[in-house]
C-alpha cells in the first residue's frame, strides 16, 4: 500500500480509521433500513456484543503496545511469545464459557436461536490473537500495518454479511454472526503470530511479570468499565423494553456514538506517543493539549447538528420508521461526548501508569448500571441518567488533571 507523499503514517492511520468507521456505520445503517426496527433489535445485540468483545480485547492490545515500548530490545521477542500464548489460552476459555451459556444468553436477550452465540464464541480466540498483533504495531507506531488490519476486518464483515443477506442464503441474524466470525480472520493480516509463538517455552523475570500483571489487571478493570458505560444501556433496554423500542434505541445509540469512535482513533495515536515521551523524558502534557482543541470542536459540532436537525439526520441514516426518537438524539450525543472527553483523560493517565482515574471511571460505570436498572420508566429517562453520570465523571477527571498539574508546579517551585 504506497503512501501518499503528503501523509505521515499517523495521518494515514487517521484517514483509514475514518473510512473504517464510515464503513461500519454504513453496515449498521443498511441493516437498520433493510430489516426494520424489530429484526434490527436482534442484529444490534450482536453488534453490541462485538463492541463488548473489542473492549475486552483492547486490554490485550494496550498491554502489547505499552510493553513493546518500555521493555529492553533483548526482551521483546520473549514478551511477544508470552503474550500470544496467554491471549490464545484466555480467548479459548472465554469462548468455551460463552458456548456453555449460549441457551441462557439467548433467553436473557429474547433471541429465538442460540446458534449465533456459538459462532460468536468461536471467533473470540482469533480476535484476541489479532489484538496482540495490533498492539505490537501500535506500540511500534507502525500505523500502516495497523490500518490494514482494521480495514480488512471491516471489509470482510461488510462483504460476507451483505452477500449472505442480499442473496437470502441465510436469515439475517445468522448472516451477521457469520460476517463477524469471518471478519476476524480478515483482520489477522498483517499478523506476527506463528505456531512457535504458542508452543515455545518463554518466561519473563519477576519484576517484568509483576509490572505486566499489574498493568493488565488495571487495564482490564477499566476496559470492563468502558464495556459497562458504552453498552449497558443497550443491553438493559433490550431486556426491559419491547423489540420495537429496543430497535429504535439501538439506532439512536449508533448515531450518537460517532464522536466516541473518532476520539478512540485519536487515543490510539496518543497513547504510544505519551508513553514514548515519558520514556524519553519529554513532556506528555504537550501531546495531550494538541488533541483537546480538536476534540472540543468536534463534540460541540456534533451535538449542535443533532439538536438542530434530528429528524433530518435520522431520516437520512435509518429512514422514517426510526424518527419517533429524534427528540432524544442530541441528548444521547451529549452523553457520549461527555464520556468520550473523560475517557481521553483516563487513557492519558493510564498510559502514564497513574491509575486513580480508572477507579473513578469504575465507580461511575457501576453507578450507571444500578441507576438504569432502578430507573428505566421511559427511554428519555435512560438517556438523562447517562448525561448526569457522564457529566460527573468528566468533572472528576478534569479536577484530578488540574490537581496533578498544580501539584507538579508546586514541586518545581519548592
Break the chain down into helix, strand, coil percent, rounded to 5: 85, 0, 15
Residue 330 CB contacts under 8 Å (≥ 6 apart), including other chains: 303, 306, 307, 310
Mean pLDDT confidence for 339-367? 87
pTM, whole model, 2 decimals? 0.74
Which three cell numbers mark 297? 470542536
Quick one: which of 131, 294, 291, 292 has its CA closest to 219?
Answer: 131
**Residue entry with cell 497513547:** 271
Task: Among 102-106, 113-117, 122-126, 273-277, name the one with the lowest average pLDDT.
Answer: 273-277
- CA contacts within 13 A on the Cβ side of 110: 18
Backbone φ and ψ of 23, nearest 5°: -65, -40
Chain-centroid distance of CA 62 in Å reads: 12
Is 113 or 196 the better-scoring residue by pLDDT? 113
Q: Pick the most confident of 127-131, 194-198, 201-205.
A: 127-131
User: pLDDT tens-digit profile of 9-44?
Assistant: 877 888 888 788 788 878 887 888 888 877 887 888
Q: What angle do CA 75, 78, 81 make, to 5 degrees?
A: 150
User: pLDDT tens-digit profile of 365-379?
Assistant: 889 999 999 999 999
Share of the chain above pLDDT 70, in %: 94
Amino acid at each position: 500500500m504506497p503512501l501518499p507523499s503528503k501523509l505521515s503514517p499517523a495521518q494515514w492511520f487517521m484517514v483509514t480509521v475514518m473510512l473504517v468507521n464510515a464503513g461500519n456505520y454504513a453496515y449498521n445503517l443498511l441493516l437498520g433500513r433493510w430489516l426494520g426496527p424489530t429484526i434490527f433489535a436482534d442484529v444490534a445485540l450482536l453488534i453490541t456484543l462485538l463492541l463488548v468483545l473489542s473492549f475486552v480485547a483492547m486490554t490485550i492490545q494496550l498491554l502489547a503496545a505499552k510493553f513493546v515500548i518500555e521493555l529492553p530490545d533483548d526482551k521483546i521477542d520473549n514478551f511477544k511469545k508470552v503474550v500470544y500464548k496467554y491471549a490464545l489460552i484466555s480467548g479459548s476459555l472465554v469462548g468455551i464459557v460463552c458456548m456453555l451459556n449460549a441457551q441462557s444468553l439467548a433467553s436473557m436477550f429474547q433471541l429465538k436461536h442460540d446458534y449465533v452465540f456459538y459462532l460468536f464464541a468461536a471467533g473470540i480466540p482469533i480476535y484476541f490473537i489479532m489484538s496482540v498483533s495490533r498492539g505490537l504495531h501500535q506500540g511500534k507506531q507502525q500505523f500502516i500495518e495497523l490500518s490494514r488490519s482494521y480495514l480488512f476486518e471491516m471489509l470482510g464483515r461488510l462483504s460476507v454479511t451483505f452477500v449472505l443477506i442480499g442473496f437470502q442464503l441465510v436469515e439475517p441474524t445468522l448472516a451477521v454472526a457469520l460476517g463477524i466470525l469471518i471478519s476476524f480472520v480478515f483482520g489477522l493480516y498483517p499478523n506476527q503470530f506463528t505456531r512457535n509463538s504458542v508452543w515455545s517455552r518463554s518466561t519473563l523475570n519477576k519484576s517484568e511479570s509483576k509490572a505486566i500483571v499489574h498493568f493488565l489487571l488495571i487495564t482490564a478493570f477499566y476496559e470492563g468499565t468502558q464495556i459497562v458505560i458504552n453498552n449497558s444501556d443497550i443491553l438493559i433496554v433490550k431486556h426491559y423494553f419491547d423489540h420495537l423500542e429496543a430497535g429504535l434505541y439501538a439506532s439512536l445509540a449508533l448515531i450518537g456514538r460517532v464522536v466516541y469512535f473518532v476520539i478512540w482513533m485519536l487515543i490510539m495515536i496518543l497513547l504510544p506517543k505519551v508513553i514514548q515521551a515519558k520514556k524519553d523524558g519529554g513532556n506528555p502534557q504537550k501531546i495531550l493539549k494538541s488533541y483537546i482543541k480538536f476534540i472540543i470542536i468536534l463534540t460541540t459540532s456534533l451535538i449542535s447538528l443533532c439538536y438542530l436537525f434530528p429528524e433530518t439526520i435520522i431520516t437520512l441514516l435509518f429512514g422514517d420508521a426510526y424518527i419517533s426518537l429524534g427528540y432524544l438524539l442530541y441528548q444521547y450525543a451529549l452523553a457520549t461526548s461527555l464520556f468520550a472527553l473523560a475517557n481521553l483523560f483516563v487513557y492519558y493517565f493510564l498510559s502514564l501508569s497513574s491509575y486513580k482515574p480508572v477507579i473513578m471511571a469504575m465507580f461511575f460505570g457501576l453507578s450507571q448500571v444500578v441507576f438504569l436498572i432502578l430507573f428505566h420508566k421511559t427511554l428519555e429517562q435512560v438517556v438523562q441518567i447517562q448525561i448526569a453520570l457522564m457529566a460527573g465523571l468528566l468533572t472528576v477527571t478534569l479536577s484530578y488533571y488540574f490537581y496533578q498539574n498544580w501539584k507538579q508546579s508546586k514541586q518545581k517551585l519548592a
